[in-house]
Chain A
Amino acid sequence: MSGPTGTNGRKLASLRELPQAIEPAHDLWPGIESRLAALPPEASAAQGAKPAYRRALRLRWLAAAAMVACVAVGVWIGRSLLPGGPVGGAPPIAASRPAAIGLGPTAFDAAYVSDPRYERQRRALVRALQERLAALPPPARAKVSASLAAVEKAKKDLEQALGQDPGNALLQELLINTYQDEMRVLTDVHEASDSGREI
């Protein structure tokens, strides 16, 4: 093993005195440079140049995934849990959303999630959901739980991101959408149980 240059013959009183740097026998940069040139563009360091943009993109996908999961559960409740499908009082998914959900993502919308009435309604729905979940067959329980877990994760990530960038309109919009998605799942399950049919 080649030692650090210019240190041969020198005596040391401690291991800590050994030089940390050892120069390679030849310049390694040309080899590194040619390998960097051969890397695909997506492996470039420049891909990490816009972390905020990438985070927003990831969160957008996360919110979209949560929404898809919610819609899937809604459709599944309509088609599978209710015998004969969404007949009579069972409204289509879009109609089951709370009135405020139909509005665009404005500052007024942002306020409704901190409204005590919203919080009361949410708590009641969550309580009812817990009761219904306990009675559901395992596959049904797993689907509803997975959907709500996806929504919960999206909410947490978005809230964390908003904590770092409170003025970001895109994040605000995504958060409102996610709250709406959660309410949609809760009301869908609630309405299905209120219809008096077995889930």
Chain B
Amino acid sequence: MAHAQAEETRVDWESALVQRARGGDQRAFERLYREHAGRVYGLCLRMTRDAQLAEDCTQDTFINAWRALGKFETRSSLSTWLHRIAVNVTLAKRRKSGPVEPLPEEEEGSAAEWALETPVEVQELESAIGALPEGARDALVLHALYGYSHGEAAEMLGIAEGTCKAQLHRARRLLRERLHIEVN
């Protein structure tokens, strides 16, 4: 109950900041940046595995967000909206820098909890995720780490939902091999 109220207050405060930023108030936009930069940078870093590129992507995400604030529907989540922009920016930068890996065949995915059979250190887990191929890593980061549904992650990445599930299946198999434990 208290958590729900706190969330509601945060959203009200956030939409007030969005309104002010839409009016050209850069200080309000900076507050929004401070609130969301960590999650946006975390997503970019996990997708790019390159701190400098992730910084560029984070900056571009907020520049694009500033330009498009007029189109943002205040009823939807600012965090999700920023993540969509961040994914677009990151994919575009990656396309420029190299060929896109082929997509795997669609196959049935399962509703994984992403539980680890044996606890693993954060750094080791981050390294194992970072070593995944791009497509599998993108799907895993959006679905398992940031909590987007298969459909949402697929839409953000511009791929079919079945392909997203297949990438998750592949990510789970590779993590299992690299960590030598079951990932359920």
Contacts and interface: CB of A to CB of B under 8 A. Distances in A.
Same complex: yes
Interface of A: 1-4, 7-16, 18-25, 28-29, 31-33, 35-36, 39, 43-49, 51, 54
A36 B113 CA distance: 41
Contacts of A16: 113-114, 144-145, 147
B105 interface: no
B70 A45 contact: yes
Interface of B: 21-24, 26, 29-30, 33-34, 37-39, 41-43, 45-46, 49-51, 54-55, 58-59, 62-63, 66-72, 113-116, 119-123, 125-127, 129-130, 140, 144-147, 183
Given A24-B54, A49-B23, 13 more contacts: A11-B122, A12-B116, A12-B119, A12-B120, A12-B125, A15-B114, A18-B125, A19-B42, A20-B43, A32-B59, A35-B59, A36-B29, A39-B66
A31 B51 CA distance: 15
Contact of B24 (A1, A12, A45): A45
A51 B37 CA distance: 27
A24 B37 contact: yes
Given A16-B145, A43-B67, A45-B21, A11 B121 contact: yes
5 contacts: A12-B125, A28-B33, A28-B37, A32-B63, A36-B66
B70 A8 contact: no
A23 B58 CA distance: 11
Contacts of B130: 1
